[in-house]
Chain A
Amino acid sequence: MSKYYLFQDIKKCIGCHACEIQCKSYKNLPIEPELCKIIQVGPKFIDGLPKISFVFMSCFHCETPWCVSACPTGAMKKRARDGIVFIDKDMCVGCKACVSACPWGAPQWNEDTGKVEKCDFCMDRIDNGLKPACVVVCPTDCLQFGTVEETTRIRRERHASVVTSLDKE
């Protein structure tokens, strides 16, 4: 697992897909490859209320990435210093072994180049102290990027503020 974690606050997500579009815009991708994708489940009526789940799917940047092991050319790599899993496109031959290997569909196919594209947490931006493209534009701030420790704290803080009554009259 990389030292980073991309946290999606499902409660705040409105499934607008701004994250996906900004990702494509930044990476200058054609329409088909979706390095991140909001998957909608529902609406379904639960206790009389319509509920929808929007699940943000990109790449988990695994500790032992299937895609890296599967790649025969060494194009798919894990960055030593922070564990980001990325693809060196010059070395990709388009064999799709990573696509077969990944249990979550993270590696995506770019028909224009005949190579694989994959979320790299916008590592060039991170290296400049910036946030990934998807996180910057999220209209509800439901996407948060940071270290695992920072992002788990968000959950705890939110839970704490919900159960406390100090705010209320």
Chain B
Amino acid sequence: MKKEVFSLCLMCSVRCPIKVEVENGHVSWIEGNQNVAGINGSLCPTGAAGISMLYDNQRPQSPLIRVGKRGAGNWRKASWEEAIDYVATRLAQVIDKNGGQSVALGERTQLTTHVSKTFLNALGSPNHFTHDSLCKGSVNTACRSLFGYTDEQMGINYVNTKHIVLYGRNIFEAIAVKEVKALMNALEKGAKITYIDPRVTITASKAHQYWMIRPGTDLTLNYALIHVILKELLYDAEFVSKWIYGLNELRDFVEEYTPKWAEVETGIPKEEIIDLAREVSRNKPSVIFHYGYRGTSHTNEIYMRLSILMLNALMGSVEAKGGIYFRKGPGEVGKKPARTLLGQNFPKIDVPRFDKAGTKDFPLPFAPYGVAQILPYAILNEDPYPIKALIAYHFDPLMSISDTNQTKRALDKLDLIVTIDINYSDIAWYSDVILPESTYLERTDCIMQMNDLTPYMFLRKKAVEPRYDTMDGAMILKKIGEKLGIGSYFPYETMEDLVEWQLEGTGFTMKDFEEKGFVTYGTGDIFWDRDNIPFLTPSGKIEFKSSLLENAGFESFPAYEAIPKREDGKFRLIVGRTAIHTHISTQNVPYLNGLESENTLWINTIRADELGIKNNAIVEVASSVGKGQIKAFVTDLIHPEAVFMLHGYGHEAVWAKRSFNKGLSDTVLMENVYDKVGGSAAFDETFVTVKLL
């Protein structure tokens, strides 16, 4: 028996559309969904390893309850009934003693996020948070400040661009298939890439211009670019005069930030800075200054993101072909999106969030996502109140939030840690209960509302029955909820019920997804009329002078401050990605582990010589918060002031045998500091020493 199922990948969070072929209940083939324009059968390497993940037995195969010390790895198998009962009983105890707000749930934003939020809302807790602040908190805030939209409501029109400027945005190693294909097509049509990064990447090797910028000085470079653009009138005058609020203030502000000044700080010759400003101007508005992810991430990140977005606005590349655009939802064509459970009436919650996002203490971060990196502080300081239980759902605070040792100390104060995941992640290993989720090939998921230049809906559909004793995440939360007396908030018996319920009123049913794997609300790309762009800022304009910032007591144009100076002998730690792995979650997948099983520390040849470090030598890396051992990669491909390591290694979960104790986790070294305005974790703020062992 052979069947084909259209679905959505989840080897990373991009959720590329796929087609799965099943023979006699066994997944025999996965490819990109050929029906989707811009996918055409393609998969990235992690997507291609879906089968390798599915048939790996080094993942949780039944619910597990801890019997020894936390993290010691002593488990007993439990039935679902027992495990759910165990979790519900302990949650009830925590809530009785400390109130509903003492329960937090953190997840990587996913299709069931509305279910997790429903779970907490019903318990009276505001403490749902996602990974987003770690990824791009300040990008979100910057987009809202300038345009009134979040970054998720914005897209990038790669395929029509003529010049794209990438700040460490390593597109060809952090693969989103559609993005990669679109940019490659643009390159074939003659588009140019300028790539800026203290480290040479594969993306750098495809660039027409590469700057090995001094770490931490992206903002410096941008102020100089803006200086040139304003001085030489290189901007899109019509667009700017119509839409920019605060141009004069910006002009006065950047007056002193000359290319000559920037050359000293960044190491980029001033002539080249001037040339780039002129060159992009010739291609406006089909130019993109990529606003994130990555790029240098410090405690003033909000201003770096704003400066990138301002460059786009000056080029008129907002809502422009080959520039950046606003995503169009079903409302644009008079239709409705899928429903979520969040439309229900929940008990009123009158305590602030654990991270205080949206209060006067921390006004600007996007409260619907929260600020993940505050969690350890909130628990340790019991500020604003005690947090006593954590549900980690497809999210690993230990390897995602900086300063693992501190995060562990915080977790040690909790009465209950529950992990819902498909992997033996480090947080699973440190939990009291592991509730194993079915993988993306084994489950139907909630509707994916895909707003883009035209609105779509996609569906992740179960291809095969679960191989082990696992369950869908939305069913797990429903079952815990039922035991806690909040079952009525989960009006479904199966995932299929939930999806059909979501689709009511949209004019579509689950059957409509069978033909192509998705449904579309309309046809063709929708660009708004550039004379009538509905910016959602108070002024209705692109606010260089920001109401959002100024109303919260922050300056729109604070005087430039260089990032903290490096002490002699130290290195700035920078981190990043590879095409082979997804953050922290795929290091144990057999085929992917086979290609890249360990990370190394990239260190500049001259600095390594000074320290007597040879290629492949084992070195000790230490910061103010942690240390560890790792193999050195001695190379000219990194700036002398920085060392680099791949994120996601140094796993501590013993039963994930291939990845256990391989390489070093960057979060052990990184200090948990953050942008107090925009909300991002400041991943590039940490200095380390390196010594030969």
Q: Do A and B bind each other?
A: yes
With A and B bound together, what is the CA distance between A106 and B47 in angstroms? 25
Q: Which B residues contact A (CB, under 8 angstroms)? A: 29-32, 40-45, 47-52, 172-173, 175, 177, 180-181, 184, 188-190, 200, 202, 204-210, 579-580, 590-595, 636-637
Are A21 and B592 closer than 8 Å at their CB atoms?
yes
Main secondary structure of the interface of B (DSSP, over half): mixed
Whether A25 pairs with B172 at a CB distance below 8 angstroms is no
How many angstroms between the C-alpha atoms of A139 and B207 in the bound complex? 18
Which chain A residues in 121-169 approach chain B with CB under 8 Å? Answer: 136-141, 158, 161, 167-168
- What would 14 A/B residue contacts be, using CB atoms closer than 8 Å? A15-B202, A17-B580, A18-B48, A21-B49, A21-B52, A22-B48, A24-B52, A25-B30, A43-B200, A43-B637, A50-B205, A137-B31, A137-B41, A137-B47
Residues of A21-49 whose CB lies within 8 A of B: 21-22, 24-26, 31-32, 42-43, 45, 48-49
B-facing residues in A1-25 (Cβ within 8 Å):
12, 14-18, 20-22, 24-25
Contact A14 B41 (CB under 8 A): no
Q: Which residue of B50, B51, B202 is within 8 Å of A14 (Cβ)?
A: B202
Q: Are B591 and A16 in contact (CB under 8 A)?
A: no
Most buried by A among B44, B48, B175, B636: B48
A51 on the interface (CB 8 Å rule)? yes
CB pair B205–A140 under 8 Å, yes or no, is no
Question: Are B190 and A168 interface neighbours, CB within 8 A?
Answer: yes
Whether the Cβ atoms of A16 and B175 lie closer than 8 Å is yes
A70 CB–B CB distance under 8 Å? no
Partner of A25, one of B42, B51, B180: B51
Q: How far is the CA of A12 from the CA of B186 in the complex (A)?
A: 11
Contact call B189/A17, Cβ cutoff below 8 A:
no
* CA of A51 to CA of B590, assembled, Å: 30
Number of residues on chain A facing chain B (CB within 8 A)? 32
Extra contacts, 11 of them, besides A18-B47, A25-B29, A138-B42 (Cβ < 8 A), are A15-B202, A17-B580, A17-B595, A18-B48, A20-B595, A21-B591, A22-B48, A25-B48, A43-B637, A45-B636, A137-B48
A52 is an interface residue with CB less than 8 A from chain B: yes
CB distance from B564 to the nearest CB of A (A): 29
User: Contact check: which of A14, A25, A31, A48 meets B579 at CB < 8 Å?
Assistant: A14
Secondary structure at the A interface, as helix, strand, loop or mixed, is mixed
B632 to nearest A CB, angstroms? 18
Counting chain A CB atoms within 10 Å of each CB, the highest count among B31, B173, B580 belongs to B31
**A154 → chain B closest CB, angstroms:** 12
Report the nearest B residue to A51, measured CB to CB.
B205
Q: Among A25, A32, A50, which residue has its beta carbon within 8 angstroms of that of B204?
A: A50
Q: In the complex, A121→B593 CA distance in Å?
A: 25
A86 to B49, CA, bound (A): 25
The docked-state distance in angstroms from the alpha carbon of A31 to that of B29 is: 17
- A14 with B200: CB separation less than 8 A: no
Pick from A24, A43, A45, A51: contact of B591, CB under 8 Å? A24
Complex Cα spacing A24 to B188, Å: 30
Roughly how many angstroms separate A141 CA and B187 CA in the complex, as a whole number? 13
Q: Is the CB–CB distance between A136 and B579 below 8 Å?
A: no
Residues of A within 8 A of B207 (CB): 49
Contact of B180 among A24, A26, A51, A139 (CB under 8 A): A139
Residues of A within 8 A of B202 (CB): 14-15, 52
Contact B32–A137 (Cβ < 8 Å): yes
Contact present for A49 and B184 (CB under 8 Å): no
- Cβ B45 vs Cβ A43 within 8 A: no
> B residues within 8 A CB of A138?
42
Q: How far is the CA of A15 from the CA of B580 in the complex (A)?
A: 10
**In whole angstroms, what is the CA distance A43 to B173 when docked?**
15
Q: How far is the CA of A140 from the CA of B177 in the complex (A)?
A: 8
* The 3 residue pairs across chains A and B that have the minimum distance between CB atoms: A31-B594, A21-B48, A52-B205
Residues of chain B within 8 A (CB-CB) of A43 are 200, 204-205, 637
Supposing A25-B48, A31-B591 touch, asked if A167 and B190 sit within 8 A by C-beta, the answer is: yes
Which of A15, A18, A21, A32 has the most chain B CB atoms inside 10 A of its CB? A21
Rounded to whole Å, the gap between the CB of A12 and the closest CB of chain B is 6
Nearest A residue to B580 via CB reads: A17
